[in-house]
A and B are shown apart, each in its own frame.
Chain A
């Protein structure tokens, strides 16, 4: 009896020892990355929060409580910027998802040349956004750009049309460029998801006489729904935070027509050295993104349950 229990406790102690070393080892491996992130991301984030309660500039800092936030709450201009940012995000993400679905469906079709087409979709994803934007800057040029040129040839406009010079055309031009930057990634993820859908499902439906459209709606979409939903969130975050595209095309102009929260924050904080006011804006961005993501993840959970995703 005593012998038996002694034998039994031996492996147990061993397991415990191993478990402890695994805990330690795990943290040993993760710690360097964690510390790096803490210094470069987490600490600046708390600094941003602290600064948002300060009147801070190049001269120094002075605690002013909620004044920066009060100013934002009172500013009609800022309200417009928030609304514009969400409009920018929903519009651009919506188009990206639709383009992605169309693109992935086309690239998933069993046609000759599809391997080549798949490669041709990717360049905007690979190259630096800033360089792609320089290309778009050229396309949008009213006098020498191809878009204005085609419009003149077709008689849509009489003279040169400067896409980036008018409020609404500048805004939608920025949306188009953002869609261009984001579509390849969305397309490729959708394509990968579509390729993962079991052929048996399609064949069963096909045998039952289901047409392509029906199969797309009733098999493809539900099967790749988890990927659609997570890509929507990911592109929403990217689009919300998108800086380079707008900065290079318009710097937020003309007359603030393309100023999103990120651009506004950058201009106030870095352009005008109003660190406190900028920090308050940054905090608003973080809070809005966090709230948006939480709501979204809640919905994602529901959708995943509904579609029975693993």
Chain B
């Protein structure tokens, strides 16, 4: 009863939603439309809402205009995957410790981790540049992976910790009482139970790692072959003109991997990411 809307209210809600979603989706729609039009029709002024010669040509030509495009997409996925694996190696033990154990400076050290979220790479670029140079990592994949890991560890710990806290303690305590070592309990009891949480956090870290590459790429890497897609896309901006249609096509192809992962897992992801917002 309480949830029933009058016809007018329903119309209002849908109209407001339409405006809201238009704002959110307009760039994607326009990118898609641009990717379907031949360049010379794109360059017609005034703007035309409809063309009669839509084609998928840009999706073929883009590989020729920017020959390394496939490599850029591979690099993006490769960097994001490496960042995810390395981040999780650091995150899993730490998140377990924060969820279950009591140790000195626990809250303080957790606060330090979360404090990292306050800085972006941009603030630390100068010394980071020098650290990476000293380590000989500039212009390698590591130059984009290492800082990526550092900035995702805190979020990973935070997300996984809240998931682990929801797993009942009894099983661990039973294993512990039976004489299992702490390490054994962590590996054989806790981790198997935490698999759904591990997946959600890994995917969240992957999406983050896929999204954050631009700054590190343009600052720490000059090697063209190693560039991730967000940086490589700018090669469509030539000296003479911009091949907008191919750039949009490439951008859409480039977001496809994360969009697909996200669509399949969105229910769990959103629940996992917003867990902190709902206190039980």
Contact = CB atoms under 8 A, between A and B. Distances in A.
Interface of A: 19, 21-30, 32-34, 36-37, 39-41, 43-45, 47-48, 51, 99, 102-103, 106-107, 109-111, 117-124, 126-132, 134-136, 138-139, 143-146, 148-150, 152-153, 160, 180, 183-184, 188-193, 195-196, 202-203, 206, 227, 237, 241, 243-244, 248, 262, 265-266, 269-270, 275, 278-279, 282, 285-286, 289-290, 293, 309-310
B120 A243 contact: yes
A129 B207 CA distance: 11
A134 B98 CA distance: 40
B104 to A, nearest CB: 6
Contact of A180 (B27, B126, B278): B27
Interface stretch (B58-66, B146-154, B192-200): B146-154
B74 interface: no
Interface string B190-224: 00000000000000000100111111000100000
Which of B47, B212, B262 has the most chain A CB atoms inside 10 A of its CB? B47
Given A48-B127, A153-B46, A195-B278, A33 B157 contact: yes
Contacts, number: 283
B94 A33 contact: yes
B259 A266 contact: no
Given A241-B119, A243-B122, A132 B278 contact: no
A139 B233 CA distance: 17
B97 to A, nearest CB: 4
Given A109-B5, A122-B266, A265-B122, A33 B113 contact: yes
A208 to B, nearest CB: 12
Contact of B90 (A36, A237, A286, A290): A36
Contact of A103 (B20, B42, B125, B262): B20
A144 B47 contact: yes
B44 interface: yes
Counting from the closest, the 6 A-B pairs by CB-CB distance are A149-B47, A26-B103, A47-B127, A192-B274, A130-B230, A135-B27
Given A33-B113, A203-B2, A243-B120, A128 B255 contact: yes
Given A128-B230, A144-B42, A117 B17 contact: yes
A278 B122 CA distance: 11
B14 A111 contact: yes
B interface, how many residues as a size bin?
35 or more
A51 B27 contact: no
Contacts of A290: 118
A121 B128 contact: no
A310 B279 contact: yes
Contacts of A117: 17, 21
B8 interface: no
Contact of A29 (B1, B94, B125, B212): B94
B34 A111 contact: no
Contact of A269 (B13, B49, B126, B231): B126
A154 B87 CA distance: 51
A192 B276 CA distance: 9
Nearest to A183: B24
A21 B215 contact: no
B57 interface: no
A305 to B, nearest CB: 15
Contacts of A110: 3
Given A43-B127, A48-B124, A37 B150 contact: yes
13 contacts: A29-B101, A33-B91, A40-B150, A48-B124, A121-B24, A126-B255, A128-B230, A128-B255, A130-B233, A138-B31, A180-B23, A265-B123, A282-B124
A184 B20 CA distance: 11
B109 A134 contact: no
Most buried by B among A153, A189, A293: A189
B109 A126 contact: no
B38 interface: no
Contacts of A130: 213-214, 230-231, 233
B94 A241 contact: no
A293 B231 CA distance: 32
Given A33-B113, A36-B149, A180 B131 contact: no
A32 B94 contact: yes
Contacts of B277: 189-190, 192-193, 196, 227
Contacts of B17: 106-107, 117
A22 B103 contact: yes
Given A23-B103, A41-B116, A290-B118, A48 B278 contact: no
Contacts of B16: 102, 106
A190 B20 CA distance: 15
Nearest to B258: A126
Nearest to A196: B278
Contacts of A111: 5, 10, 13-14
Contacts of A134: 31, 233, 247-248, 251
A127 B126 contact: no
Contacts of A33: 90-91, 93-94, 113, 153, 157
Given A47-B130, A266-B122, A266-B125, A29 B153 contact: no
B273 to A, nearest CB: 8
